[in-house]
Amino acid sequence: MKNATRVFASTFGAIMALAGIEHGIGEIFQGNVAPSGIMILSWPESEFFRSLSGEPAMTVIPNLLVTGVLAVLVSLALLLWSVLFVHRKYGGWVMITLSIAMLLVGGGIFPPILGILIGAVATRIHAPVSSSKVYRSGGFRHVLAKLWPWSYAACIIAWLCLLPGVPLLEYFFGGDNTVVILAILFFVLGTLVLTLVSGFARDTQMQVGT
């Protein structure tokens, strides 16, 4: 089993699920009303989420209360699956399916799209590594494998900086924080890619050792 790939998919699948739950709660608070269209805001009146444009989402359900309840339930299912079952044979495909459902019932835009990509990564948990990949670029692979724990920790810190970090920054200090927000977004995406690549390298390194 590819330990680093499983940890990556489980951790960040759970983070996307928690983000979906947060979207759903905002929609529940809006009550038993019809949305103005397929595109909605989870927290349209919230000062805390103003820096995130009110948390955009989409829904195919013509009721915000029902949308929010479904978003919470689907996100909870994704959370449990990510933590407990993502390593199973079709774990990645189930994660992709739940992420698509989360996208359609108000679980946000960014979290479910990333959930789909993380699910695609999870499909590689049990994939064998070919011998040509095992013995190619050994030195660089070794460096990446050593880097994985640090990139993993940095990626978690980056996500905490994004949420709740960005809303807290805007809420307490206000002002124009566009540059800071963009820097945090690049930090998040950069560490996410690095964690994914170094995780694959670590798993390959483990197979070499085996």
| pLDDT by 10s per residue, the chain, length 210 | 458 999 999 999 999 999 999 999 999 999 999 999 999 999 998 888 888 889 999 999 999 999 999 999 999 999 999 999 999 989 999 999 999 999 999 999 999 999 999 999 999 887 766 545 555 556 778 888 899 999 999 999 999 988 888 888 887 777 667 788 888 889 999 999 999 999 988 888 777 655
Eight-class DSSP state of 1: -
Number of domains in the chain: 2
Q: For residue 10, with 0-12 CB atoms within 10 Å meaning exposed, 13-18 middle and 19 or more buried, which class applies?
A: buried
First to last CA, the chain: 12
Q: Which two tokens stand for residue 199?
A: 């995780």
The pLDDT value recorded for residue 93 is 96
Half-sphere exposure (Cβ direction) of 16: Cα atoms closer than 13 Å: 34
Looking at the structure, do residues 94 and 139 belong to the same domain, yes or no? no
Looking at the structure, do residues 137 and 122 belong to the same domain, yes or no? no
Looking at the structure, do residues 60 and 157 belong to the same domain, yes or no? no
The pLDDT value recorded for residue 1 is 45
Q: For residue 22, with 0-12 CB atoms within 10 Å meaning exposed, 13-18 middle and 19 or more buried, which class applies?
A: buried
Q: Which two tokens stand for residue 14?
A: 């759970």
Neighbouring C-beta atoms of residue 106, cutoff 10 Å: 32
Distance CA 155, CA 189 (A): 8
Residue 49 neighbours by CB under 8 Å, 6+ apart: 26, 42, 43, 55, 167
Domain of 196 in residue numbering reads as: 130-210
Q: Which two tokens stand for residue 4?
A: 């680093």
Neighbouring C-beta atoms of residue 84, cutoff 10 Å: 11
Looking at the structure, do residues 92 and 181 belong to the same domain, yes or no? no
Q: Please identify, among 105, 127, 149, the residue that sits at the C-terminal boundary of a domain.
A: 127
The pLDDT value recorded for residue 52 is 84
Give Cα separations from 124 to 29, 102, 193, 203 (angstroms).
39, 22, 15, 11
The pLDDT value recorded for residue 138 is 63
Looking at the structure, do residues 90 and 113 belong to the same domain, yes or no? yes
Three-state DSSP class for 182? Answer: helix
Q: Please identify, among 66, 101, 127, the residue that sits at the C-terminal boundary of a domain.
A: 127
Looking at the structure, do residues 152 and 120 belong to the same domain, yes or no? no
Distance CA 210, CA 207 (A): 5
Half-sphere exposure (Cβ direction) of 169: Cα atoms closer than 13 Å: 17
Eight-class DSSP state of 51: G
Looking at the structure, do residues 51 and 142 belong to the same domain, yes or no? no
